[in-house]
Amino acid sequence: MDTRDLSAKKIHEGLKEKAFSATEVTRAYLDQIARHNGELNVFLDVYEESATEAAQKVDEKIAAGGEVQPMTGVPVATKDNILIDGEKATAGSKMLENYTATYDAGVVKKLKQQGAVFLGKTNMDEFAMGSSNENSAFGLVRNPHDLTRVPGGSSGGSAAAVAAHMAPLSLGSDTGGSIRQPAHFCGVVGFKPTYGAVSRSGLIALASSLDQIGPFANTVEDAAWLFAGISGRDPYDNTSREYSYDPQTLQDMEKYRGMTIGLPDEYFIPGTEEVVAKNIQAVIKSYESLGVQFKRVSLPHTKYALSTYYIIQPAEASSNLARFDGVRYGRFVEDGQSLRDIYVGTKSAGFGAEAKRRILLGTFVLSSGYYDAYYKKAVEAKEYITEDFTKAFQTVDAILAPTAPTPAFKLGEKVDDPMQMYLSDIFTIPANLAGIPAISIPSRENDSLLPIGFQLMGPKWKDADILGLGHLYQSA
Ligand code: GLN
């Protein structure tokens, strides 16, 4: 069984028709992981035993006439900031190297109920801070398309796992682009749902008002499949909403053909590589040939998005990371003379450079005297940015833009220049600030040797339309 020939949908159909067993499917993915993980460093933990057992249970259930739900027997890889009961969850940090989760994240609980098989935990930038996966305390991840390049971040492992067919589906988290940007770099689909569509319970928090869990897959159809399995209200996350997504809506082709997509002036700017800009033009042509119309729109406050994000996100991160102090979580000083020794010793040894930078930035913008000048202003700017989208969506159904200004860059190219690294998320950050759904879809309409994606953004709670438009493109 070759995992390159499989998809979540095919696995589902095969299990239903008894063409193969869940055990065979899981074995094939575990073998693919064993073949490539040494080189790529995608998985931090592989669940050889528990995945095999879970698959066997699925087979027994199917043999006994049990229902094959959409996610039954489908393997999933999980970013290492999402908790699975009894398994390690490091969030890519030395701080949590020895931490074992004591409960299942909301998304994991939902997937377990449906009989999904968890393959293991994927590498990531420490506490999801980064755009290249080079901030992981457990080594970098290589892009499966070019081993000298980054897979993107912070969900670099989850993107690379799907790209290298080590998993048909994976889960990532997106606070400022961490699903879409690595999807674009690795040539896979990455979807950030509407804020509140998916539970954040059991997600190790980076910036709680922006974080959202979402799927990676090789096709929009598969991403929609996993999204259906994880979305909806969870009593353990009060920002999650009653919401049910039906992948059947992907088939409403006529509806999507009749849609109008907006092209925001502010996203076609110098600094975007020509190959990326040209790719967007080709995507426009494809959509036009399907009947979709295009219209220019303006999102005038886009220029403030990056700076707004780099105030709000570190502010929330500094507050969320305060618990890693050697007393509540993490411990690097066993015999400190004072509480202060424990705090300083633990934080100095446990956090990497980027985490320290964000904690310092965040603490600064929240400190008295600077709170009004920075944090309060950023919250206001966030509202203007959101308002821009609300206005634009009065005249268009979706917005098309590049996912990132460049294809995957070289390992080491930006590690010493945080500003360059931050610019990698210039096109993805606005959707997080506005809480809207956004997807990155690989496009083959370019002569680039590296994968290039495009981004579709939609109005809040119109996740189905964004997925539908994406599927329309892929099915053509
Ligand atoms: N690269 C961005 C950052 O470092 C986004 C991270 C994310 O979405 N988790 O903040």
pLDDT digits (tens, 9 = 90+) for 443-461: 988 888 899 999 999 999 9
What's CA 296's distance to the chain center, in Å? 28
Specify the CATH number of the domain 1-476. 3.90.1300.10
For the chain, list residues with pLDDT below 50.
Answer: none
Which residues have CB under 8 Å from 462's CB, separation 6+?
194, 397, 398, 437
Q: Which amino acid is at 224?
A: A
Residue of 7, 9, 79, 231 marked active site:
79
Active site residue 79: yes
Q: What is the pLDDT of residue 334?
A: 76
Contact 431, 438 (CB under 8 A): yes
Distance CA 8, CA 461 (A): 24
Q: In ligand 1, which atom is closest to the CA atom of 421?
A: 1
Give pLDDT, residue 271: 86
Active site residue 158: no
* Whether residue 132 lies in the annotated active site: no
Q: Would you state the pLDDT for residue 228?
A: 98
pLDDT at 269 (0 to 100)? 86
Is ligand 1 within 6 A of the CB of residue 158? Answer: no
Residue nearest atom 10 of ligand 1, based on CA coordinates: 129
Sheet holding 260-264, edge to edge: 43-46, 117-122, 75-79, 169-174, 212-217, 189-192, 438-443, 452-457, 398-402, 260-264, 293-297
Distance between terminal CA atoms of the chain? Answer: 28
Closest ligand 1 atom to residue 310 Cα is 10
pLDDT for residue 331: 77
Spell out the domain ranges in the chain. Answer: 1-476
What is the Å distance from ligand 1's center to 231 Cα? 22
- pLDDT value at residue 446: 81
Dist CA 191 CA 234 (whole Å):
20
Nearest 10 degrees: Cα torsion 6, 41, 156, 49? 50
